[in-house]
């Protein structure tokens, strides 16, 4: 997987992006769009699995949805403070890949890391366009930011019909066996207590608003521009 992408999604942990928008990514990659994921942390604080196993699972999930690029910045799990070094790492990734569109977690999730990631990525998108911020790297103007839902969902601003691509999302999520399956040696967490079933139910509910089988929802902070209705 090589650099330079059309669209780039950030997550705090490997599996965050897939929970929120794996089918949307599969829909775009099958249309020839170069899509990348950047995981901010290695999820080393997770109750189940290991960092090494999670990385193998992330690679399997990337294959399921046709990613052109996947990286992990290795920032500290439960330590996304927005320090200058952390901010520089995210800006560097944006300037290296030069995406037209950036995705980040919805800003009001029950997991504090997701909220921190949302805030950091939004600020990094702003900093990435400033020519005097890290002047050794060429600035980049991201055209639009969208926010995807992980654990919680609010009033969505737009939904994507992913009915024909939902099997790819199932394959991507099933790659994270250490997180979503319980077994010997695992501890009970919200993720291995029918979590994937709940995600699918949410996506089915969103799709039902337009008589689709499945949809994934997104929020925006900047209003859409309409020239004529």
How many Cα atoms occupy the beta-carbon half-sphere of 105 within 13 Å? Answer: 29
Task: With respect to residue 40, please indicate whether it lies within any of the assigned structural domains.
Answer: yes
Tally of structural domains, the chain: 1
Cα 88 to chain center, whole Å? 19
Distance CA 126, CA 149 (A): 21
Which pLDDT band holds residue 2 (cuts at 50, 70, 90)?
low
Query: In this structure, what CATH number is given to the domain that contains residue 76?
Result: 3.40.50.10320
Domain extent at residue 143:
5-217
Any residues with CB less than 8 A from the CB of 196 and at least 6 apart, and which? Answer: 173, 174, 180
The pLDDT tens digits of the residues spanning 59-96 come to 999 999 999 999 999 999 999 999 999 999 999 999 99
Task: With respect to residue 223, please indicate whether it lies within any of the assigned structural domains.
Answer: no
Tokens of 113: 């890391």
Its pTM stands at: 0.96
Task: With respect to residue 17, please indicate whether it lies within any of the assigned structural domains.
Answer: yes
Task: With respect to residue 225, please indicate whether it lies within any of the assigned structural domains.
Answer: no
Judged by phi (left if over 0) then psi (alpha if -120 to 50, else beta), residue 78 lies in left
- Per the DSSP assignment, residues forming a β-bridge with 102 are 8, 145
Task: With respect to residue 72, please indicate whether it lies within any of the assigned structural domains.
Answer: yes
The pLDDT tens digits of the residues spanning 138-162 come to 999 999 999 999 998 888 999 999 9
Task: With respect to residue 27, please indicate whether it lies within any of the assigned structural domains.
Answer: yes
Task: With respect to residue 168, please indicate whether it lies within any of the assigned structural domains.
Answer: yes
Task: With respect to residue 159, please indicate whether it lies within any of the assigned structural domains.
Answer: yes
Cβ atoms of 103 and 148 closer than 8 Å:
yes
């Amino acid at each position: 997987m090589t650099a330079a992408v059309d669209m780039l999604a950030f997550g705090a942990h490997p599996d965050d992006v897939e929970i929120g928008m794996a089918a949307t990514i599969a829909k775009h990659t099958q249309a020839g769009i170069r899509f990348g994921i950047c995981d901010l942390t290695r999820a080393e604080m997770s109750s189940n699995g290991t960092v090494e196993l999670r990385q193998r699972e992330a690679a399997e999930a990337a294959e399921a949805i046709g990613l052109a690029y996947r990286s992990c910045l290795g920032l500290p799990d439960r330590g996304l403070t927005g320090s200058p070094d952390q901010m520089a790492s995210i800006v560097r990734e944006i300037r290296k890949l030069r995406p037209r569109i950036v995705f980040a977690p919805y800003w009001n999730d029950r997991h504090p890391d997701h909220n921190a990631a949302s805030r950091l990525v939004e600020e990094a998108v702003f900093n990435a366009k400033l020519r005097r911020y890290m002047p050794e790297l060429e600035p980049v103007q991201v055209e639009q930011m969208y926010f995807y839902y992980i654990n919680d969902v609010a009033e969505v601003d737009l939904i994507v019909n992913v009915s024909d691509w939902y099997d790819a999302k199932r394959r991507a999520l099933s790659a994270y066996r250490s997180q979503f399956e319980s077994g010997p040696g695992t501890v009970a967490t919200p993720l291995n207590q029918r979590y994937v079933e709940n995600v699918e139910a949410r996506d089915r509910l969103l799709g039902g608003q337009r008589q689709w089988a499945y949809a994934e929802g997104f929020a925006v902070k900047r209003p859409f521009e309409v020239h004529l209705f």
